[in-house]
Amino acid sequence: MTQADDRILETLSDSSLILSPRVLAVNTDYSRHYLSTRLGKLRDAELVDRIDEGLYQITDRGRAYLAGELDAEELEE
């Protein structure tokens, strides 16, 4: 997990919206390309769902991670 991953999850959680990498880039100061890569990793870890092409929302598992109920080491297993 990276600092960007935390920012992505926090932004998705705080907004309660389905967002694109472009919108996330504007709100997190990371490039859209980098966020697209990170969103793929977060999707693999089941922390975000891809709702449609280029649209993502946080999962319950993602919220559990933000709440400290899920350790980053558990995500790598």
Domains located in the chain, CATH noted: 3-68 (1.10.10.10)
Query: Are residues 57 and 51 in contact, defined by beta-carbon separation less than 8 angstroms?
Result: yes
Name the strand (E) or helix (H) holding 56: strand 55-58
Which amino acid, one-letter code, is at 36? S
Residue 38 neighbours by CB distance under 10 Å:
22
pLDDT in tens, 12-38: 999 999 999 999 999 998 999 999 999
Whole-prediction pTM value? 0.90
**Residue 39: how many CA atoms within 13 Å on its side-chain side?**
27
pLDDT in tens, 44-65: 999 999 999 999 999 999 999 9
